[in-house]
A = this chain, B = another copy of it.
């Protein structure tokens, strides 16, 4: 009987190996040859799944965004609205090893789009999705009557989006000067400043 290979699962394993190489050695080291070695495949077998490095990168990066979305969607949000909103936003922050790896890889990839035009569309799509997700959180606060009256919902959505990304980048690049607790405190301070909790 031929061995049954789950192609999707194999592709995800390859993508996860790609994340690891990017985080440990840099994106320029994420070559087909190197990833093949890391996953115990031949370069030829890896090319069966991804014929170019761009394809490999795009799939790997898309998987980051899928994982974040899956986690955000599958979560049961309960408790008071403040914890609910903080929890939802935490999914976009490097609060543990899993999310740290995903976000570090995503940051490296985003910066790579500055010189690799063909990677830009995915980065842009995810940017727009994240913007919409954050707008939805602000809208939820408006609907619950929790956003302070002096706050403009559109401006607050922009500010929160920029702030969440800024927090993630500060913690990823300066984990000692800007540890996780400081990141979470800053998020909490911000939410309290715009809400009537």
Report A's interface with B, CB cutoff 8 A: 23-26, 28, 104, 107-108, 110-116, 123-124, 127-128, 131, 150-152, 155, 158-159, 161-167, 169-170, 172-174, 176-177, 182, 185-186, 189-190, 193
Q: Are A173 and B108 in contact (CB under 8 A)?
A: no
* Min C-beta distance of A106 to chain B, whole Å: 11
Counted per complex, copies of this chain come to 2
Q: Are A189 and B124 in contact (CB under 8 A)?
A: no
Q: Are A162 and B158 in contact (CB under 8 A)?
A: no
Q: Are A162 and B166 in contact (CB under 8 A)?
A: yes
Q: Are B104 and A114 in contact (CB under 8 A)?
A: yes
Task: Tell me which residues across on chain B come within 8 A of A112, comparing CB atoms.
Answer: 26
Q: Which of A23, A24, A151, A162 has the most CB of B within 10 A?
A: A162
Chain A, interface SS category: helix
* Min C-beta distance of A33 to chain B, whole Å: 16
Task: Tell me which residues across on chain B come within 8 A of A26, comparing CB atoms.
Answer: 28, 112, 114-116
> Can you list the 4 inter-chain pairs with the closest CB atoms, starting with the nearest?
A166-B166, A162-B166, A28-B28, A26-B115
A-B contact pairs, 21 of them (CB 8 A): A23-B115, A26-B112, A108-B114, A111-B173, A114-B172, A114-B173, A123-B174, A124-B176, A127-B173, A127-B174, A127-B177, A128-B177, A151-B193, A152-B189, A155-B185, A158-B182, A162-B170, A163-B163, A163-B166, A166-B166, A166-B169
Q: Are A189 and B114 in contact (CB under 8 A)?
A: no
Cα separation A52 to B110 with both chains bound (whole Å): 27
Output the nearest chain B residue to A177 by Cβ-Cβ distance.
Answer: B127
Cα separation A63 to B156 with both chains bound (whole Å): 35
